Structure 1
């Protein structure tokens, strides 16, 4: 399986930090250091809407909020000012501001959405927060005194159908698992190395270890079961995305490209070349639909940055689901044509001999020729 570039989306004037693809794969939202949130069509590659929020600082986290099966009705984003803002789609298909909540004293590092209980989780300034979303699209905290750690809270994930919350911490390399109702620490365990970023896939947590690649851990045992090794030139927190049906994981890069690995074996499958050598391609997202797998990568340039959309491409034989035949010399079309021509000539000669009464003489004259032709063919 290979991928080709479908669109290059240009609007951000500084580094792109975060990407999120909607449930059905029709829309993309991006956020960056330029305080912009841009809504894109993944069908046409057109920019649908731009939100400019300079008071918020840089955009550090973003996520779709799915109220129903449409999956494109609202989104939330967190920024360097520590606030969380919610936008909802209006009747004219544009997104309108609904609420802002003071979430953290520092930048919002991560957001997660639980559609079962309609809850939003956030991480920042060393602690997690869990919020109920009201019908008015405002947030109310359900944790009175969350535990604060002296480390950067990097990511949050809802787990166990929304009954638990996983929180990762950068420097300590620890994963905390909390029960939400009531709020209580269920367990805390340490991975090998630090934690740059994480992705949750079923009962597996993939961790960018800031050392030699990505490790996959089975939870709740937190036992390492697979590694996806790659060279790290710059110690930056690379994002991870899993395409389970395609059997692939995608990892951001620090040298102009993102990497593709086989999910099961850990084998390196290729790269998505986004920029030049030394460019940081940190944000990455993927979506699987009827048309196949779509991947989105973002660049983190000091100046104008862009977003690339990649689509799955199959070879001609794979698209037709046909295995090309193996042709040998004895069954090639050319040799078959020669044999057919020789047979036709011999049949004509035999018929002429029968009519002229010279069959016995003919037999003796061409016997050696037939033997020689048979040996050649």
Structure 2
């Protein structure tokens, strides 16, 4: 793996940054406690747009890609006030709010998009909600289902993340305090299996091509699981990437583009890059 180094720094937020995501067109979107969404151009190394969506602190961001035109970019944002917004961003630095919906009574924890199916999964306090994305219609975000349904009380466990798998036909739902992951088929909505873990699930990342899952376990590092169906479908622990956790904070985890390396934050201002097969730390980058 090539070594990473500091290439550029972007400054603009006035409070901690909660979420970031890259677009295929070379844009970086960031959201923070200051309630702003910043849009940066990687090619020009500059800020190109600042948006104040009035959602409170921005807690989740996700680009929408697929059959949309290259001249337009679509960005989903989730806020601490429980709302989710869809915006159209064009090259002339103009943004158009297409939809805003109140989804949860508390903060939106995560947003995942299955571009091929046009399905969006949003998580919040005790509930996961699926939407159908139909850009060009009067109401581009159409609610498909909520689990539990809105007519019922939410689960006592916090839903921290979702991951589409089986080419978007199924979804993994991770719960923080109940220490479990539940797999669902989307159509029809049906529980496939569930698995309990020994540690809490702080954050997670999934590679559908590899069938691998990373879990920040809030105890001693990152657990690496493989999805297997032998003898029944479940997640098999294959590796633990050991991290000295000094403070009980949730850090993000991601795969690199090859799936061979895990990328994680830390509680001491370092960004860690791990070789998954060897379990060894490959590089530590000082961030702050």
Same fold (TM over 0.5): yes
Q: From 137, 140, 146, give the equivalent of 1:138.
A: 140
What is the Cα deviation at residue 145 of structure 1?
A: 5.3
- Structure 1 window deviating more from structure 2 (31-40 vs 180-189): it is 180-189
- Cα distance in 2 for partners of 1:246, 1:226 equals 14
Q: From 241, 249, 253, give the equivalent of 2:266.
A: 253
Contact kept, 8 Å, 2:226 with 2:235, in 1: the verdict is: yes
Q: From 187, 198, 211, give the equivalent of 2:204.
A: 198
Contact kept, 8 Å, 1:19 with 1:29, in 2: the verdict is: yes
1:12 is aligned to 2:13: yes
What is the Cα deviation at residue 71 of structure 1?
A: 9.7
- Cα distance in 2 for partners of 1:141, 1:101 equals 10
Contact kept, 8 Å, 1:66 with 1:72, in 2: the verdict is: no
CA distance 1:261–1:72, shift in 2 (3 Å):
farther
In structure 2, the residue matched to 1:2 is: 3
**Structure with higher RCO (Cα < 8 A, 6+ apart):** 1
Residue aligned with 1:270, SS? strand
Contact kept, 8 Å, 1:22 with 1:72, in 2: the verdict is: no
- Cα distance in 1 for partners of 2:194, 2:244 equals 29
What is the Cα deviation at residue 179 of structure 1?
A: 1.0
Q: From 154, 161, 177, give the equivalent of 2:183.
A: 177
- Cα distance in 2 for partners of 1:144, 1:56 equals 21
Matches within 5 A, 1:99-118: 99-118=99-118
- Cα distance in 2 for partners of 1:218, 1:258 equals 24
Residue aligned with 2:171, SS? strand
CA distance 1:91–1:232, shift in 2 (3 Å):
closer
In structure 2, the residue matched to 1:335 is: none
- Cα distance in 2 for partners of 1:112, 1:13 equals 26
Matches within 5 A, 1:35-54: 35-53=35-53
In structure 2, the residue matched to 1:242 is: 255
- Cα distance in 1 for partners of 2:250, 2:71 equals 28
CA distance 1:90–1:2, shift in 2 (3 Å):
closer
Larger Rg: 1
In structure 1, the residue matched to 2:219 is: 211
CA distance 1:71–1:244, shift in 2 (3 Å):
farther
In structure 1, the residue matched to 2:230 is: none
- Cα distance in 2 for partners of 1:168, 1:187 equals 12
After superposition, give the CA deviation of every residue in 1:133-152 in whole Å (9 maximum; x if it has no partner): 12336211111552632111
Query: What's the Cα RMSD here?
Result: 1.8
CA distance 1:270–1:228, shift in 2 (3 Å):
same
Contact kept, 8 Å, 2:214 with 2:254, in 1: the verdict is: no
In structure 2, the residue matched to 1:92 is: 92
- Cα distance in 2 for partners of 1:6, 1:225 equals 34
1:230 is aligned to 2:231: no
Extract structure 1 runs of 4+ deviating beyond 4 A. Answer: 69-72
The structure with the largest helix share of the pair is 1
The structure with the largest strand share of the pair is 2
In structure 1, the residue matched to 2:172 is: 166
- Cα distance in 1 for partners of 2:87, 2:147 equals 27
What is the Cα deviation at residue 72 of structure 1?
A: 6.5
Structure 2: runs of 5 or more not aligned:
228-232
- TM-score, length of structure 2 as denominator length: 0.90
- Cα distance in 1 for partners of 2:243, 2:147 equals 40
- TM-score, length of structure 1 as denominator length: 0.69
